[in-house]
Amino acid sequence: MTISLGHRSQPMATRLMATRLPASPGNIVLWLIAAFHVVLAAMLITALVSVSPAAAADEASCTGRNILDDLKQSDPARYAQAVKEGDAVPNGKGIFWKIEKPGIKPSWLLGSMHVTDPRVLQLPPRTQAAHDAADTIVIESDEILDEKKASAALMMKPELMMFTDGTTIEKLLSHEDYTRLEEGLKQRGIPLSAVSRMRPWMISSVVALPSCEMARKAKGVQFLDQKIATDAVAEGKQVKGLETLSEQLQAMAELPTEFHMKSLIETLELGSKMNDVVETMTDLYLTGDIGMTMPMLKTVSPEGEEEDSDYAAFEQRIILDRNKVMAERAAPILANGNIFMAVGALHLPGEQGVIELLRKQGFTLTAVN
């Protein structure tokens, strides 16, 4: 099956149509990771897009089923393979870690999920106690404390978020996909006109999230990282960031437009099935089985050479490069001791994850149940 992008005669649309992008659920795997992985997406959705709480779907519409529970019954062999892959991921078990180094007070590392789900916002007692007792709170970007100010700063680089040459998303999509996008946004209380000039990755970040997530954001519910930082400020603690939102945005913008368009179309095609994937990701997060995230996502994505290539580029720019930045910038802060640090959970595991990178800098990290 192939997809022809664009139904208007425009230079970018012509270039994309010539690419003849294959349709598969492969890249939705990447966009789900991005939607829950980049704090910027969660912040920009509410800061830059006018979402109507009344028009947004209620939370009841976002219930999903755990994909792994279904897979265990329908395909035990594939389920067993996914579990085996998940178990093999270094540091894939646990989202809360103790950081130690001789001569300084212990610090703490929490793998976060950039969502407003009340199950995620409720920190376990020991995690909450570490947050409350810490001298300094470290998050991915402290700019999320003031969304309006951060958004204003980002608008100084509009070319990273929006088309500045007159292109609109309508000119890049077929009539069928354009109609599908319009309906998907309507369900989230967002008029298409509000995002028509946004780059595909921005729009994908909106439609990849369940309606209930959008509805909570529209009502002003903070996502986990925001809540952690806001609570810290209220307690008189210092809050420090490891990245700027501009740096996060630049990383997303550097991925090819063709990749972004393909991901957007596949997100639209998946439709309500997204709720099942999101619910499963949330369940894995709450049980601390982060290493199982990618194996789970692969069960809903056919394997293919192109998808592998897409993921390699995505992983390098959005995950691995940023892991290095986070670990390098966190080390001198952690040297002070008694720090509570929260970064996206998918930054933690793996041989090039933040946990291993901090260990290479002389810290001892131990998972805390």
Q: Which residues of the chain have pLDDT under 50?
A: 1-26, 53-60, 304-305
Under a CB-based contact definition with an 8 Å cutoff, are residues 111 and 96 in contact? yes
Q: What is the reported pLDDT for 211?
A: 76
Q: What is the reported pLDDT for 7?
A: 39
CA distance 118 to 111: 16
Quick: pLDDT tens for 149-176: 777 777 777 787 788 888 888 888 888 8
Q: pTM value?
A: 0.83
Q: What is the reported pLDDT for 22?
A: 35
Q: What is the reported pLDDT for 8?
A: 38
Q: What is the reported pLDDT for 336?
A: 96
Give me 353's structure tokens: 């994850």
Label residue 309 exposed, middle or buried (CB < 10 Å: 0-12, 13-18, 19+). exposed
Q: What is the reported pLDDT for 4?
A: 33
Angle subtended at Cα 341 by Cα 38 and Cα 91, rounded to the nearest 5 degrees: 75
Label residue 273 exposed, middle or buried (CB < 10 Å: 0-12, 13-18, 19+). middle
User: Phi and psi dihedrals of 342, rounded to 5?
Assistant: -130, 120
Give me 51's structure tokens: 């979402």
